[in-house]
């Protein structure tokens, strides 16, 4: 191997080591978008956090750029932000928390090296939180837990540690510990150094929190019983061996824990420092062939998200690509693994919510937006040199179905274009029904809020008002041509074609009906 190639590989390895790529995940309303904003604020890439309270002064957070998100105050799509902090390049992916958009969240988790899980101090572990923890465990994604909203009344800190260990099976290892119960938050003790940092919300809460390091003696004098309680709890944590173990963290068997309040920017600086110091840098990625693609190999990456109309003025489409190996250069010609065809990367951009800038190069861990990449789909692999193929992204069986129509015949072309766009992005699955024809496609979704997003975007982005007629189906399973002929003779069942890949989906009103029919036809193929 030539010296220039070795030097290039070494440079890629160094750049990869500077990257921290993680997702912020949680149950709805636990504060994900607020935390995203607070992290960007502490990295000084924005001047004020967007979650400003007060009439007439509330602004949307930068990661919630879609009109529906800003109107309803919820995240319905994932967003990417890249910024620098302490000579480290941060690639932060904000995710929708609502269970109806779990497929989007799970795709994002394939593109990160770690995750920050937010727990609401008052609610503890909620259903969606448990599911996300389990997904991270299965994928061996290291998780840092941030107990959020400690400035409001909530559970006991030790009780939350017990809940994490007993219900999830991850060993909590607090790195910071609060002085003051939830709702009476004075600051945190760094368990590694013993330093106490007093924290105070800035006026209005939109700027960095006011912090002051205090000696143990001064803190004890000022906070009295609260300091004594925190000291006793720290002694108990030490006795139970709740100390950080980097190997266990990276193996996704323990979770470092921090306390704070994202909306008031309390404890956020500590979280950002922990991400830089302890979160893993990009490593070799497994391929379909069963090998691992090293970060310093030739270029490769995969598309984990498609988003259209982020810029309404240009009505463009952006493919979000996670770089897995090698150095990416804007304009380089790569190979599409699925088709074997060349693909030119002329328009490559760095993302910061809705805002973006043209970039000339990127490295493993970075998320690059490929603009107007209409030839790309979710899960596609791109590479240079020796062929590489990354595993397909997870897909969830739909549980809600509705026929979508427009009564405005003059808007039918826009209607079709909008439906194709939503299908390509994975907002909903689009099915073709022989009973209804191409003018009335069937939308299939994991959760009903996906229908709200689809109809909102059809009207807002394509100027098409639609009506939905919900169908009485709750279960879908893949079948084949022989299965379609069998099911044509059955009642309360329908076979439709999924537009994106021509797969045949049999849909049933409930699992009992599916099991009944399957019992009568042992050779019938039904794959959930």
Tokens for 228? 């004594």
Mapped onto helix, strand or coil, the DSSP state of residue 83 is strand
Residues 252 and 290 in one domain: no
Handedness of CA 474, 480, 483, 487 (dihedral sign): positive
pLDDT at 443 over 90: yes
> Which of 338, 358, 383 is the endpoint of a domain?
383
CB 258 within 8 A of CB 271: yes
Distance CA 266, CA 289 (A): 46
Distance CA 62, CA 49 (A): 9
pLDDT score of 48: 52
Those residues whose C-beta lies under 8 Å from the C-beta of residue 125, and which sit 6 or more positions away, are: 119, 133, 163, 164, 167, 168
> Which of 278, 297, 322 is the endpoint of a domain?
278
The length of the chain in residues reads: 528
Q: In 177-335, which residue ranges form alpha helices assigned H by DSSP?
A: 216-239, 246-250, 268-278
Mean pLDDT of the region 20-44: 87
Q: Which residues are annotated as a binding site for GTP?
A: 94-98
Residues 36 and 140 in one domain: yes
Residues 274 and 289 in one domain: no
Mapped onto helix, strand or coil, the DSSP state of residue 273 is helix
Q: Which residues are annotated as a binding site?
A: 94-98
Is the residue at 395 inside a domain? no
Tokens for 113? 């090296």
CATH number at residue 494: 3.30.70.3280
Orientation of helix 268-278 relative to helix 32-42, angle to 10°: 80
Distance CA 11, CA 369 (A): 23
pLDDT at 193 over 90: yes
Tokens for 421? 């766009």
Question: Half-sphere exposure (CA, 13 Å, Cβ side) for 390?
Answer: 26
Q: Domain range holding 516?
A: 400-520
414 vs 55, which has greater pLDDT? 414
Those residues whose C-beta lies under 8 Å from the C-beta of residue 277, and which sit 6 or more positions away, are: none
Is the residue at 389 inside a domain? no
Q: Provide the number of structural domains found in the chain.
A: 3
pTM of the model: 0.84
Distance CA 277, CA 144 (A): 12
Residues 48 and 101 in one domain: yes
Mean pLDDT of the region 9-32: 91
CATH number at residue 371: 3.40.50.300
pLDDT band at 5 (very low <50, low <70, confident <90, very high): low
Mean pLDDT of the region 78-107: 81
Is the residue at 372 inside a domain? yes
pLDDT in tens, 116-152: 999 999 999 988 888 888 888 888 999 999 999 999 9
Tokens for 309? 């109309």
Helix (H) or strand (E) holding 280: none
CA distances 463 to 338, 362, 411, 418, Å, are 34, 37, 8, 9
In the chain, the N- to C-terminal Cα span, in Å, equals 48
pLDDT in tens, 99-122: 555 678 888 899 999 999 999 999
């Amino acid at each position: 191997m030539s010296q220039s190639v070795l030097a290039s590989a070494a440079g890629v390895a160094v750049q990869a080591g500077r990257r921290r790529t993680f997702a912020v995940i949680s149950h709805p309303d636990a504060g994900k978008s607020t935390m995203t904003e607070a992290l960007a604020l502490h990295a000084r890439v924005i001047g004020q956090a967007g979650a400003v309270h007060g009439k007439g002064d509330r602004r949307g957070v930068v990661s919630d750029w879609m009109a529906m998100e800003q109107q309803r105050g919820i995240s319905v799509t994932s967003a990417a932000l890249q910024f620098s902090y302490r000579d480290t390049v941060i690639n932060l992916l904000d995710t929708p928390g609502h269970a109806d958009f779990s497929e989007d969240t799970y795709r994002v988790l394939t593109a990160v090296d770690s995750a920050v899980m937010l727990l609401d101090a008052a609610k503890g572990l909620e259903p969606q939180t448990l599911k996300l923890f389990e997904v991270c465990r299965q994928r061996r994604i290291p998780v840092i837990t941030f107990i959020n909203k400690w400035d409001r009344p909530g559970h006991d800190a030790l009780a939350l540690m017990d809940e994490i260990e007993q219900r999830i099976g991850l060993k909590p290892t607090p790195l910071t510990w609060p002085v003051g119960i939830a709702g009476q938050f004075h600051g945190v003790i760094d368990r590694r150094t013993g330093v106490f940092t007093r924290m105070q919300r800035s006026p209005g809460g939109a700027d960095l929190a006011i912090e002051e390091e205090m000696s143990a003696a001064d803190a004890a004098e000022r906070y009295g019983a609260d300091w004594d309680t925190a000291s006793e709890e720290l002694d108990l944590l030490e006795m139970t061996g709740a100390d950080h173990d980097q190997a266990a963290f990276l193996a996704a068997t323990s979770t470092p824990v921090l306390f704070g309040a994202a909306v008031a920017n309390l404890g956020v600086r500590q979280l950002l420092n922990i991400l830089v110091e302890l979160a893993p840098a990009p490593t070799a990625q497994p391929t379909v062939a069963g090998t691992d693609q090293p970060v310093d190999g030739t270029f490769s990456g995969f598309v984990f998200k498609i988003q259209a109309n982020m810029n309404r003025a240009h009505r463009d489409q952006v493919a979000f690509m996670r770089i897995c190996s090698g150095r990416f250069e804007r304009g380089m010609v790569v190979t599409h693994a699925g088709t074997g065809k060349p693909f030119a990367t002329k328009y490559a951009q760095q993302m910061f919510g809705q805002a973006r800038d043209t970039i000339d190069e990127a490295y493993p861990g970075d998320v690059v937006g490929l603009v107007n990449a209409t030839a790309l789909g979710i899960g596609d692999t791109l590479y240079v040199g020796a062929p590489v193929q990354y595993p397909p992204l997870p897909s969830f069986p739909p549980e809600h179905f509705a026929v979508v129509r427009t009564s405005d015949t003059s808007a039918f072309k826009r209607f079709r274009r909008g439906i194709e766009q939503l299908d390509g992005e994975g907002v909903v699955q689009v099915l073709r029904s022989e009973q209804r024809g191409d003018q009335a496609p069937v939308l299939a979704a994991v959760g009903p809020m996906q229908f709200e997003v689809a109809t909102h975007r059809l009207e807002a982005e394509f100027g098409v008002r639609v009506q939905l007629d919900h169908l009485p189906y709750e279960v879908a399973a893949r079948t084949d041509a022989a299965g379609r002929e069998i099911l044509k003779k059955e009642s309360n069942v329908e076979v439709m074609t999924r537009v994106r890949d021509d797969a045949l989906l049999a849909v049933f009103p409930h699992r009992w009906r599916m099991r009944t029919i399957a019992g009568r036809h042992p050779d019938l193929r039904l794959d959930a």
